[in-house]
Structures are given as structure tokens and as C-alpha cells.
Amino acid sequence: MTSRVLTTFWRVSPGLKRPSRALSSTTTSIFETIPREELVTKFKSRLRDRPFLPGSTGGGFPEFLAEPRDSFPHGVRVHNRNQSSLAELTEKCMEYMEENIAHSPAILFRDLPAKTTEDFITIAKTSQMNRSYMVEPAIVLCLTRKVVLLLVFFFMLNEAADGCGGETPLVKNTELISKLDPDVLRKFEEKQIQYVRYMPNLAADSYLSWQHAYQTHDRKRVESEAKELGYDDITWDESGGLYIRQKRSAFLTHR
């Protein structure tokens, strides 16, 4: 069975395979499925007419973010009866994920003993051990390395308050494709998608400057690395900021 999905900048390579593992009874027993009702937030997140949300002012845009379904996302509570370390629990979570990711593309793990940034670093380091993918800060990764991002991790200590913002909506690509006008899909296929990245000069703005992203102050080296990554339009503005652009296919075929 094949399906076509709309891509973002990060794509899954069909050549990389996840390791197949048989879960032990010990691994399985620490996970308890969370009922859908417990995943529903205490408030509704408004989408329609939301500032800075593309398309939110158009007709037909949903008023609120939809509630979780029975299996999307798939939530599990982690029981640490044996007082295992965070690294040991993370390894078991990764085994669980690899076993279930094919039919549950979004998995929520609750009650891990993680409370600090250092704890999340432990999770990130443990999750990539002996595996064919990497876990790094996503923005830097996509700008500076020719690698494939298979997974995106979020680390949350508390549920956001009403009106806090910052929600990351999740959607199944196959469902999105089925709802789009065929003429719109055809235009995506014909025109492709142009990605534009802007990185300021370190002297003007310390937030994710191109010097930080590429770990150099040499413009020629930056241009060379950007071209290797497929950026065919590289320009500098008057402040020394960097614009890089490239076109990519809007679709991938998953088999």
C-alpha cells in the first residue's frame, strides 16, 4: 500500500530502517494506556482569527483545535515500580515507540522522572544510542547538517494555561491530503515548495545568528556549506544577515 504525504522541511528517508525489537514483559508492564478523556485539555485552543496563524482568517477554518482521539495521540503512563534511572526508562520508552510508531505516529509519555533541562538532555542522548537517527536542536540541525530527522521530541513539565499559546497542532498527513482540493494538490506538485531561512548577523542579533548555526565567521565557507545542502539562492542583507532559499518537492511517497 502506498500513500502520498505533504512534506515539511524535515523528511523521512525510505532508506533508513528502524531496528525491530521484541519487547520484554518487563518493558511492556511499565506502560499503562491513558484514556482519551484524560488527554483532553481543560480549555479549548482557539484557531480561527488567531494572530500570526496563516489561513486562520479564511472561510472554513476550524474555530478551535480538535480534541484528542482514541489513538491520536497515543498516550501512555510510565510506572517506575523498580526505581529505574531516567536513562533506563528512556530506553524502554524508545523500544515501546519503535514497536508502536507505525500505527501511532504521535506518542505521549507521562510521569517520567524528568524535571529539568539536564533531564531532557539525558533523554535526548539515551534515545539516539545504537540507533540510526540523531536527536539535536531541530533548528540548528536542519540548517547545518545533511541528515534526516526521523523524530521530533517535545519536553513539557506542565500543561499550558488557557490563552498561553504556543500549541503545536498534530495532523495525519493522509487525512490532510484527502481533504485538500485536487487542484491545490496539483499546484503543489507543479510549483513545489520554496523554503526561506533568515539568520541575522551576530553583531545585530544574538538569537540564532548564522555564525552560531554554521560555527564559523567565514562567509565563503557558509555559502559553500549552504550550497552543499541544496540552497541555490544565497544572499546577504545590509546588516550582514543571511537569506538562504531552496525549492523542494511538496510530496513524498510512503510505502
Rounded average pLDDT over 76-94: 92
* CA 91, chain centre distance (Å): 20
Stronger pLDDT, 213 or 165, i.e. the higher one: 213
CA distances from 224 to 82, 214, 216, 230 (A): 52, 11, 12, 10
153 is written with which cell numbers? Answer: 521530541
- The answer to whether residue 142 scores a pLDDT higher than 60 is no
What is the reported pLDDT for 255? 54
Is the CA virtual torsion 93, 95, 98, 103 positive or negative? Answer: negative
Highest-scoring range by mean pLDDT, 11-15, 24-28, 90-94, 169-173: 90-94
Lowest mean pLDDT segment, chosen from 69-73, 96-100, 139-143, 191-195: 139-143
Asked if 215 contacts 143 with a C-beta cutoff of 8 angstroms, the reply is: no
- The radius of gyration of the chain's CA atoms, rounded to the nearest angstrom, is 21
Closest CA to 76 of 64, 89, 65: 89
Record the pTM: 0.60
Please give the average per-residue pLDDT across 55-79, as a whole number.
86
Alpha helices by DSSP H, listed for the chain, are 25-29, 36-39, 86-100, 117-127, 138-144, 173-179, 182-191, 210-214, 219-228
CA 163, 165, 168, 169 torsion: positive or negative? Answer: positive
Q: What is the DSSP string of 120-188?
A: HHHHHHHHTTTSSS----HHHHHHH------------SSPPPTT---------HHHHHHHS-HHHHHHH
Return the higher-pLDDT residue of 28 and 170. Answer: 170
pLDDT given at position 150: 56
State pLDDT tens for residues 159-184: 777 777 777 777 777 788 888 899 99
Which pairs from 180-183 meet CB under 8 Å and 24+ separation? none
Distance, in Å, from the CA atom of 181 to the CA atom of 189, rounded to the nearest integer, reads: 13
pLDDT-derived band at 211 (thresholds 50, 70, 90) equals very high
Query: Between the CA of residue 180 and those of 5, 55, 111, 184, 187, what are the distances in Å?
Result: 12, 14, 38, 7, 11
- Does residue 163 or residue 91 have the better pLDDT? 91
Q: Residue 24: helix, strand or coil by DSSP?
A: coil
- The C-alpha cell at 132 is 540510526
